[in-house]
Structure 1
Amino acid sequence: MDEAAEALDGIEAIVCCVGINGLGTIDETEPEEWNRQFAVNAFGPYASARAALPHLRKSGGGAIVVLTSQVGIVAQKGNAAYCAAKAAAIHLVRCMAADFAAENIRVNSVAPGITGPTGMFNSWLSLFPDEESRDAEAQRQIETSMQKRIVHPDEIASAAVFAVSNAAPGIIGQTFVVDGGYSLV
C-alpha cells in the first residue's frame, strides 16, 4: 500500500477484491479450510483497509469498498465457510463505516452474485464433481436470478466505481447487492 501511495502520489480510494470458495457444510469442512476461507474473505479486507487508512487520512478522507457476496446476506446450502466469511466481511464494513465516518472516510461493500462469463463463474462450477452437476448448477444460477441471467463483471465494477466516487458522499456502511435479484427469492 505504501508503494502504491508513493507511485500514485497518495491514495483516496481502494477497492478490496479478494475471495476464495469451497463447498461444504460445517461437518464437511475441515478447520484448516474454514480458517483459509476466513483468512482470505474476512481478514483480507481488514488487512487492506488497515494498510490504506494512513494514506486515506493523509488525503483528508476517501473511500473503501469491499467486494463481498450476496451469500453473505442470504444463506446458501452447502457453502457454510464462504457464506459466514462474506457475512463477516459485510459486518466489518459496517463497523469500519461507523469508526471512520467522522474522518471523512466512507466504507461500503458491493455484494456480487455469480458473475460471468469470467473465471469466477467457471471457478464456482469447478467445485462441482462432474459435468452433469456443473451443468445443473449453471442452469440453477440462471433460473434463480430474477432476470434469468448471470451478472456481468462491468455491473460489479460500476457499483464499486459509484461507491468510491464523489457522487456518493452520504452513502456510508451500505451493501450494494448486484446479483440479478438472486437474493430476493
Structure 2
Amino acid sequence: MSDVFAGLKAVVTGGASGIGAAIAQRLREDGARVAIFDRAITDNLVDAYRVDVTDDASVRAGVAAAAADFRGLDIVVNNAGIGAQGTIEDGDDEEWHRVFDVNVVGAVRVSRAALPFLRESNAAAIVNTCSVAATAGLPARAIYGATKGAVLSLTLQMAADHLREGIRVNCVNPGTADTPWVARLLDSAEDPAAERAALNARQPHGRLVTAEEVADAVAYLASPRAGSTTGTSLAVDGGMQGLRLRPAA
C-alpha cells in the first residue's frame, strides 16, 4: 500500500461496479478516502452516496454531503457513463440526448458542483473517463463515440479554464475493457465466443483491457506526483489508438 493519496479525499462517479469500482479500490489502497457516487448502492459499499448524474439537485446534494463528511474534496473522477450501439440511423433523438446527458453533461454537473471545494485544495485534480472511441472510428458506435469525443474536448477546455486555479484536468482513454457492460454485449451476441475473440483481436496486444489497468492510469493522473500533467489524454488500449501491426503469421 502506498501513501501517495494520504489525507486526500476523492469522488468517483459510477463507482459501484466495473472500472469505477476498480478506481475506488486503487485510490483507497493508496491512502485516499473515496466517496462512491452511483444510482445503484448496496449495503456493503463504504462511503457510498446515491447520486444520479443526470439530476443536478442529486449531484449537488451528493457533492455537498461528501465534502461535509470528508471535510473537503481534492479529486473528482468522472467515470459514470453508459454505452450505446448503432450507427446514426439506429438511435432516435431521445437516445442521443440520453447518452449525452449521462456521458457528457453528467461530468459537467459533478465537476461544476465540486469546483468550490477543489479550489480550496492544494492537490486538486479531475480525471474524466473517455474512450478509444474518441480517437478511433469503430463500427456501430456513433452515439457513444460522439459523446466520448465531447469528453475529450471538454477535458481540454476544463484544463485551460481551471489551471490557474490550481486544478488539473486530464482524461483516460480505455480500449475495450472487460467490464459488466461488455460482458452483457457478449452474452447477447449470436456467438459470444467468436465476438470475444474479435474484440481481443481488435486490440494489438490481443486481449481486453482490465479495469485495474484503467484504475492505475487514473491513479497516476489524479496523483500529486503528476503535478505537471494537465490537459492530457492517457490511452490504455493495448496500442489500438496508434499502432498498425501486420497480421500475425
Taking the aligned partners of 2:186 and 2:92, their CA distance within structure 1 comes to 21
Give the counterpart of 1:30 among 82, 87, 92.
92
**Matched residues in 2 for 1:91 and 1:124: separation?**
27
2-side partners of 1:93 and 1:123: how far apart?
29
Q: Which residue of 1 aligns with 2:190?
A: 131
Residues 124 and 166 in structure 2, CA contact (< 8 A), matched pair in contact too? yes
Question: Cα distance, 1:179 vs. partner?
Answer: 1.0
Tell me the distance in 2 between the aligned counterparts of 1:11 and 1:95. 21
Query: What count of residue pairs does the alignment treat as equivalent?
Result: 181
Aligned to 1:120: 181
For the 8 Å contact 2:175–2:203, the answer to whether it is kept is: no
Whether 1:82 and 2:144 are equivalent positions in the alignment is yes
Given that 1:114 and 1:151 are in contact with CA atoms closer than 8 Å, whether structure 2 keeps it comes out as yes
1:167 to 202, 221, 225: 225
Distance 1:124 1:182 in 2: 20
Question: Unmatched 5+ residue regions in structure 2?
Answer: 1-62, 245-249
**Other structure's SS at 2:96 match:** helix
Structure 1, unpaired ranges of 5+: none
Letter of the 2:232 partner, please give it: Q
Identity %: 35
Structure 1 residues 73-94: Cα deviation after superposition (integer angstroms, max 9, x where no partner): 1111111000000100111010
Match of residue 49 from structure 1: 111
Going from structure 1 to structure 2, the CA distance change for 1:9 and 1:165 (only over 3 Å counts) comes to: same
Contact 2:82 2:99 in 1 (8 A): yes
Q: How much is the aligned-residue C-alpha RMSD, in angstroms?
A: 1.4
- Cα deviation code 1:99-143 (max 9, x no counterpart): 000111000001111212x313213435x5x332x4333111111
More helix by share: 1
In the alignment, what sits opposite 1:15?
77
Deviation >4 Å, runs of 4+: none
Q: Are 1:91 and 2:153 counterparts? A: yes
TM-score w.r.t. structure 2 length? 0.69
Offset at 1:60? 4.3
**CA distance in 2 between partners of 1:121 and 1:28 (Å):** 19
CA distance in 1 between partners of 2:204 and 2:88 (Å): 29
Distance 2:105 2:184 in 1: 21
**Equivalent in the alignment of 1:153:** 211
CA–CA distance in structure 2, aligned partners of residues 61 and 167 of structure 1: 10
CA distance in 2, matches of 1:115, 1:173: 23
Describe the SS at the equivalent of 2:119. helix
> For 1:136 and 1:123, how far apart are their aligned partners in 2?
14
8 Å CA contact 1:69, 1:113 repeated in 2? yes
User: Aligned to 1:66, what secondary structure does the other structure show?
Assistant: strand
For 2:151 and 2:72, the matched residues in 1 are separated by 25
Deviation at 1:17, TM superposition (A): 0.6
Instruction: Quote how far apart the aligned CAs of 1:163 are.
Output: 0.4
* 1:32 partner amino acid: E
- Length-normalised TM-score, structure 1: 0.92
For residue 176 of structure 1, what is the amino acid of its counterpart? L
| Residue identity in the other structure for 1:169 | G
Maintained 8 Å contact 1:60/1:103 = no
